[in-house]
Amino acid sequence: MLRRLATLLAVAAAELSREFTLPKAVDLSTAKNALVKGDMHRLLSYKSIKTSRESGRVHVNEFRHPIGGATVERCEVLRSGPNQFQMVVTAASREAPFGETFTTRVVVTLRRDANNCVVMGATSSVQWNSAKRPPRILERQIRSAAEKGSVNAYGALAKWLETGGAPVSRTRFRLLRRAVLGVAVGAGALLLRPKAAE
């Protein structure tokens, strides 16, 4: 029982959540269509999007992420109604530093608040799917960069919806790119450092 509770607390501590309230001019249907159609990918200039459908509720996007390289993203609709929409997105970027060892999972929720505005929520977490992990300091940096990157991407989509599709400043993505490149350089330096004389 205690072990299960510790696992649940560890998972809860290792995720990042943000909410973005959209103006009343943006209805739930518009926000939902932007999510499902992949407007975020076009907004962020991801390359060569190929979409395939597994079922009525699941589709898969393949694209080139500017930082993570070739990325496969699986989107599954969990809930779809007049007042709430929820989708879980899992993404794997094999070319990212240690990318073969983890996937990023984002739960995106659209709901109406008390003022009848649409609130977009994004909860991002990293799931390690391999016993081979990077050193702990890099593991924390990779997790932080992946979670922040995912949440910031949905924040950019919320901002884009808020402005009615007007161009969005790329400043936050330049900062994010620097952070992730810092992780990559740090990982490379750690792996290539000379071994101490024995």
- The pTM (predicted TM-score) of the whole model is 0.75
In one letter, which amino acid is 175? L
| Across 100-124, average pLDDT | 93
pLDDT digits (tens, 9 = 90+) for 129-175: 878 888 888 888 888 888 888 889 999 999 999 888 665 555 545 54
% of the chain residues with pLDDT over 90: 39
Instruction: Name beta bridge partners: 127.
Output: 103
120 vs 102: CA distance, rounded Å: 25
User: For every residue of 86-151, which 3-state class applies, written as one string?
Assistant: EEEEEEEECCCCCHHHEEEEEEEEEEECCCCCEEEEEEEEEEECCCCCCCHHHHHHHHHHHHHHHH
1 vs 6: CA distance, rounded Å: 9
Q: Please, is 39 exposed, middle or buried when counting C-beta atoms within 10 Å of its C-beta (0-12, 13-18, 19+)?
A: middle
Domain edges within the chain: 15-190
pLDDT digits (tens, 9 = 90+) for 1-25: 444 433 433 443 468 899 999 998 9
Which CATH fold would you assign to the domain 15-190? Alpha-D-Glucose-1,6-Bisphosphate; Chain A, domain 4 (3.30.530)
Q: Output phi, psi for 166, to 5 deg.
A: -75, 155
